[in-house]
Amino acid sequence: MTAKKKAAILGATGAVGQRFVQLLEGHPQFEITHLCASDRNAGKRYGDAVNWQVPGKQPHYVDDLVLRKCEPDFEADIAFSALPSDRAKEVEPAFAAAGIPVVSNASAYRMGEDIPLLIPEINPDHTKLIEVQRRRRGWKGYIVTNPNCSTLGLALPLKALDDAFGLRQVNVVTLQAKSGAGYPGPAPEIIGDNVLPLIRGEEDKIESEPQKILGLFEEDGIRHHDMAISAQCHRVDVIDGHTEALNINLSRPAPIEEICRVLGEFRGEPQRMGLHSAPERPVVVRSEDDRPQPKLDLWEGNGMSVSVGRVRPCPIFDLKMVILSHNTVRGAAGAALLNAELLLHQGYL
C-alpha cells in the first residue's frame, strides 16, 4: 500500500481550514501532519484553539496536533492554503521556495501568468505552467490555485456549453451565502432580512477568472478565452450555497433540449480518472420549475456538483438558467483537494 502524502494546512482554524480538516478525515491519499495558524494560536492544541463553525460534525482526529506558525520549517509533501489573501501573498511563496507545493484557496496569485488557476474537469493541462513557474521563479515547489467560489460554480456549466456551442457573452447575478464572507461574517442586524448589493472585489474576479480557466495553454502561458462577462454580486441571508442567475449568448444557438443534454452529460478528467473527491456528475440538471434551492440541492455530489435549473429561452440572450454550488466545499476546500488529487495523479507530488 502506497504511503499517504503528508499534508499541512495553512490557516487551519478558519472556516476554510476547518473544511479542509473535515474533508481530509480518512482520505486515502493525504493525511494531515501539520496545522499552521496565526502567531497568537501557535503552540496551542488544535482542539483548544479552534472555534468550530462549519456545519457538520467536528472531527477530533487532529485535536492533539500542536499549531505551528505559517513558516516552512518542517517536512511536508503538500500545503493546503486557507489563508486570507494578504497573508497568502507573503506565506505561499516562502513554502514554494522551500520545496513544499502549495494548493491555494486564496486569490493572491490566481491571475499570475505562470500560476495555474485550476478546475480539473476544465483545464487539467494547465498544470504544465508548473514547470514554467519553477523556471521563472527558481522555486523547488510551486503554487496552484483554485478560483473564487462563485467563479467555480459558474465555470463548470460554461465549459460544457463552450465545448458544444461556443460562448460569446455571459451576464451573471449572484446571491451569495453568508459563509462566503468568512466567520463571523456580516452582523445579524446587517444581513438579517436584507440583501447586500456589494461584495468588494467579487465582481472583478468573476469577470476575469473564467477567461483564464477556459483559456488554452500555449507554449509558456495561457491564451485567455475572449468571451465577455458582466457580473453583479449580492450577499444574502443564507448559510451556505451560492445561487447565480445566468443569461448567455452562444456562438451557435441550440434548442433548450440539446443544451440540457450537453450540460447533463458533461464529464472531465477527474471522472475518467476516478479521482477520490470527484463527483460522478459535475453538473446536475434539475427539471423542476423551482430548483435548484440551497435547502434541497446543496449537497449534490457530496457538495462537489453544480446544480443547474430553469434552463429556458431568453428574449434578449440565447438562454437563461439558475445554478447553485456549495461555496465552502466545491467553491473552496473541496476544489483545492480535487486539485491536489489531480496533481498526484499527474506525478507533480
Q: Kindly report, residue by residue over 299-308, the tens digit of the pLDDT.
A: 999 999 999 9
Q: What is the mean pLDDT of residues 222-235?
A: 98
Cα distance from N-terminal residue to C-terminal residue, the chain: 17
Q: Pick the closest to residue 171 from 154, 153, 183, 156 (CA basis).
A: 154
Q: What is the CA radius of gyration of the chain?
A: 19
**Quick one: average pLDDT of 92-120?**
97
Q: List, in sequence order, every beta strand (DSSP E) within 74-120.
A: 78-81, 102-104
Residues 245, 233 contacting (CB under 8 angstroms):
no
Rounded distance between C-alpha atoms, residue 205 and residue 209, angstroms? 6
Distance separating alpha carbons of residues 250 and 314, to the nearest angstrom: 12
Residue 36 and residue 109 in contact, taking contact as beta carbons nearer than 8 Å: no
pTM above 0.85, yes or no: yes
What number is the average pLDDT over the span 93-97? 98
**Over residues 91-100, mean pLDDT:** 98
Place of cell 516562502: 94
Q: Is the pLDDT of residue 298 over 90?
A: yes
Do 144 and 196 meet the contact criterion of CB atoms below 8 Å apart? no
List, for residues 54-72, the tens digit of each pLDDT value: 888 899 999 999 999 999 9
Residue 1 has pLDDT above 70, yes or no: no
How far is 121 from 296, CA to CA, in rounded Å?
24
109 DSSP 8-state letter = T
Catalytic residues: 149, 242
Spatial CB neighbours of 118, under 8 Å, sequence gap ≥ 6 = 124, 126, 127, 144, 145, 146, 213, 339, 342
Q: What band does 2 get if pLDDT is binned at 50, 70 and 90?
A: confident
Question: How open is the CA angle 150-325-224, to the nearest 5 degrees?
Answer: 40
Place of cell 463552450: 162
Residue 45 neighbours by CB under 8 Å, 6+ apart: 63, 64, 65, 66, 67
